[in-house]
Structure 1
């Protein structure tokens, strides 16, 4: 069996080949084939070829549920190998969406549906099993998505482009691509991935005008991104027990990005600032809705932790050279979890 080359496969997905030079009938046939999808046998073969990159399951060591030991060198290698395959599969899936968008654009231009369907919308629903609105959004956003993929090497999801298309409309395509790339890179520093929410959070915080020079424009976008995601000189107050560093932020993506992509574009939600009131003063009501009770329980836990985890605790833990590596790991984990909770609260609906 031939070796599966993920980079070549993704290059092929965005190739121009006979779309530009082939006869009209050939283009139509090729587009129909894309929209209909490969045969089941071909699909299975593609999956099997991708799975060849996974480590042999028999070679993976079974670990007890209570084992929290460091990964061995072999386990780390197997983990990285597996995650590489997973990333490739995800990227291929994202790329396929934009291939469909390109196919739909050609079908729309040629009105190839005119003898078989009452409208383009009906054709789209029949071919891809999604709504006409979703199809229109794909077609509208595909040019920016493809430009982003070519220039950044990362294929954006439909919900991501739904956010950056707003940046393109206000500042131009270069700024939109730069925003995606910067948010992706800063998110990677935090051990996260870009989401529609994080992209929109940065977009809404950009100044009314950006500099004309690309390097200056990028600098403004990067500064805005770091503040929006709570990195470095953040405009939002950090948790009180960790004032000198705020290196990790996590803004949750919508639970179902595909469903979100079908909804009409609405208003954006802007994060607020931390409330300076005394959280300890919040009293329990006799009857509290389940979700509010969960939040109040979480607040009690956070208040207890905030009193226990003092700066002196950090200082004493850091003073033991023998535990330096473990201290660094725990400290970063605390920062990440605390900031993730903070950002969820900041981006939650306001009353």
Structure 2
């Protein structure tokens, strides 16, 4: 399987990192000569298509029954990893290509190269890339931040993601915007997911009105906000703020902090209003025969969670942690509870809405 170095791939696409300073216009890059002397379009397309050579042979992939839930074999795990590496590489190439297009459009706009063939830059853009002038303006405006994010993090952000982090840049500066993307990416990876525009926006909204000036202090605040907003390290069923938390609606407002959030949260010794209004009423759920199977499963799970929420209070945690002889086992159990509740919460957050 061919190896793939994300940093080298970005350097090939965007040039040396020195070309991308923090200055707005300069960050677009200066690679006109390299573009003119580069490979023909057909060769570039062929290079991307050759990624498929790194896939396992389809004939070697074992077909399984649709109801098979068995563990993957060593061969299947190897084929899966090999395939996902190729998919990730292809996705990264596609994301990077968008910002290459943005650099090209910036040059066309500056030189007004459309002036003899089109009535406006917008019509030129639509003819060249098949997208609206508004989309092109967003690409051009966000390209400096996207390119710096790519070089500093080794990951190419999508246009929808940079549209969000550009708001962070406007409010806190470019360093904070790049850090936010990197931290959300890393925390999302812990949860087995990827950063999205929604998750980035949720974290952006959860930041305080002002960030510390020092980069390390800024990162600490962003890490804390990200972990709280995405539910890492905080059991999601213990308070009213966590009960209602979602990617679309962060658990605290943009001008709040962790201490204020803790003070306004209701005690987990009492049932939350959310659980009173629906969850606890479900202790009297109707018989499964008159409820669709999958909905009955969810209601049964909710009933179990309500019972767990009532039993697992702050006092229980405090008493369990009080015995130094049980410290190691307590730490393992606490972390396991966090992992399980976070997994359930994330499934619910990403479930279809009606």
In the TM superposition, what are the counterparts of 1:1-351 in structure 2 within 5 Å? 7=6, 8-15=8-15, 20=30, 30=36, 38-39=41-42, 43=45, 45-232=46-233, 234=234, 238-239=236-237, 251=247, 270=250, 275-279=274-278, 280-281=280-281, 300-306=299-305, 335-343=341-349
Task: Tell me if the contact between 1:163 and 1:200 (Cα under 8 Å) persists in the aligned partners.
Answer: yes
Task: Tell me if the contact between 1:10 and 1:95 (Cα under 8 Å) persists in the aligned partners.
Answer: yes
Worse overlay, 168-177 or 50-59: 50-59
Deviation at 1:48, TM superposition (A): 3.4
CA-based RMSD of the aligned residues comes to 3.9
Task: Tell me if the contact between 2:145 and 2:162 (Cα under 8 Å) persists in the aligned partners.
Answer: yes
Residue aligning to 2:261: none
SS of 2:276's partner is coil
In 1, the alpha carbon distance for the partners of 2:15 and 2:52 equals: 24
Deviation at 1:6, TM superposition (A): 6.2
What is the TM-score of this pair, normalised by structure 2?
Answer: 0.69
* Gap change, CA 1:294 and 1:117, over 3 Å in 2: farther
In 2, the alpha carbon distance for the partners of 1:184 and 1:95 equals: 17
- Unaligned runs of 5+ residues in structure 1 are 252-267, 283-292, 313-329
Residue aligning to 1:287: none
Task: Tell me if the contact between 2:10 and 2:150 (Cα under 8 Å) persists in the aligned partners.
Answer: no
1:206-232 alpha-carbon deviations (Å, 9 max, x no partner): 111111111111001000000110111
In 2, the alpha carbon distance for the partners of 1:82 and 1:250 equals: 32
* Gap change, CA 1:225 and 1:333, over 3 Å in 2: closer
Deviation at 1:75, TM superposition (A): 1.3
Task: Tell me if the contact between 1:53 and 1:81 (Cα under 8 Å) persists in the aligned partners.
Answer: yes
In 1, the alpha carbon distance for the partners of 2:147 and 2:195 equals: 17
Residue aligning to 2:255: none
SS of 2:171's partner is helix
In 2, the alpha carbon distance for the partners of 1:9 and 1:112 equals: 29
In 2, the alpha carbon distance for the partners of 1:69 and 1:58 equals: 21
* Gap change, CA 1:270 and 1:228, over 3 Å in 2: closer
Deviation at 1:348, TM superposition (A): 7.8
Worse overlay, 87-96 or 57-66: 57-66
- Unaligned runs of 5+ residues in structure 2 are 20-28, 253-264, 266-271, 283-291, 313-335
SS of 1:278's partner is helix
What is the TM-score of this pair, normalised by structure 1?
Answer: 0.69
Task: Tell me if the contact between 1:192 and 1:250 (Cα under 8 Å) persists in the aligned partners.
Answer: no
